Amino acid sequence: GSLTSVSYACGKINFLCCSWLFPNSQVEPGSTCAVFGLGGVGLAVIMGCKTAGASRIIGIDLNKDKYAKAKEFGATECISPQDFKKPIQEVLVEMTDGGVDYSFECIGNVGVMRSALEACHKGWGVSVIVGVAAAGQEISTRPFQLVTGRTWKGTAFGGWKSIDSVPKLVTDYMSKKIKVDEFVTHTLPFDKINEAFELMHTGKSIRTVLKL
C-alpha cells in the first residue's frame, strides 16, 4: 500500500486553491496576475488563474528549478527577486505598465505579502494572502497603498463550502479540467521518508507518495 493520507490531504488543499480564486478574487479573462511562491499552493493558484482566463501569469520564486513546472501549470513567465537590484514589486510594476491586476502570496512571509500588495495596480489591484505566516507575525504597508485603490484580502477556501465545492472539483478533475496527479512528483519507499522531506525542503518535489 501507499502512505497516501498526508499526500492526499495536502493535495486536496492545493486542489482547492483553484477554487480560492473564485469568488474571493474574481480573476477575469485577460487579467494580469503575479503568484509569489511556486510550491504546491502557488502552482494550484497558477492553474486557477489560467482556468479563469488570465492572459499573463508571472511566477516569482528564488528557486529557478521550479520554473519549468510552473510553466507547465500555466505561468507565462517566471522571475527571481535575486536577479534585480530593485525591490521585486518595482520590477513587476515596470513589467506590467503600472502593476498587476491580481497578486497572490503563497509563501506565508509577511515581507512578501507587502511586496505582493505593492505590485498591484493602483485603482483596482487586488492582492490575496494565501500563505499562512508564523504565529505573532504582523503585516504592514504605507496607508497610501490602500488609499490609492488597492485591495488587500486574505482567503481560506475563498468563501466556498466544502459540501458544495468538493463535488464540483472532483467532477472537474474527472473531466481533466484541472490537474491533480501532476502534483505528485516522486514515489519513494517509506524507509526513505527523510529523503522525501529533503526533496520538499530543497524545492525539488511538490508532493511525494511514500509506499509502505
Run of H or E including 192: none
The structural domains of the chain, with segments of one domain joined by +, span: 25-158
Mean pLDDT of 158-163: 67
What does the DSSP 8-state code read for residue 92?
A: H
Which residue type is seen at 192? K
What integer pLDDT is reported at residue 157 of this predicted model?
Answer: 66
Lowest mean pLDDT among 1-5, 109-113, 121-125, 193-197: 1-5
Q: Is the pLDDT of residue 114 over 70?
A: yes
Q: Which residue has the higher pLDDT, 4 or 209?
A: 209
What integer pLDDT is reported at residue 38 of this predicted model?
Answer: 94
Residue 121 pLDDT level (bands cut at 50, 70, 90): very high
Compute the distance between CA of residue 70 and CA of residue 108 in angstroms, rounded to an integer: 19
Q: Is the pLDDT of residue 197 over 50?
A: yes
Compute the distance between CA of residue 125 and CA of residue 102 in angstroms, rounded to an integer: 6
Q: In whole angstroms, how far apart are CA 167 and each of 34, 111, 155, 161, 164?
A: 28, 36, 20, 11, 6
Mean pLDDT of 94-107: 96
Output phi, psi for 160, to 5 deg: -70, 155
Give exposure, 6-44, as e/b (b: 16+ Cβ within 10 Å): ebbebbeebbbbbbbbbebbebeeebbbbbbbbbbbbbb
Give the burial class of 102: count Cβ atoms within 10 A of its Cβ; 0-12 exposed, 13-18 middle, 19 or more buried.
Answer: buried
For the segment(s) 25-158, the CATH number from 3.60.15.10, 3.40.50.300, 3.40.50.720, 3.30.300.30 is 3.40.50.720
- CA-closest candidate to residue 127, choices 135, 116, 140, 136: 116
What integer pLDDT is reported at residue 202 of this predicted model?
Answer: 82
What integer pLDDT is reported at residue 66 of this predicted model?
Answer: 92
Compute the distance between CA of residue 179 and CA of residue 206 in angstroms, rounded to an integer: 13
CA angle 115, 205, 62 (to 5 degrees): 30
- How many residues are recorded in the chain? 212
Q: Which residue has the higher pLDDT, 149 or 156?
A: 149
Q: Is the pLDDT of residue 117 over 90?
A: yes
Global pTM value = 0.85
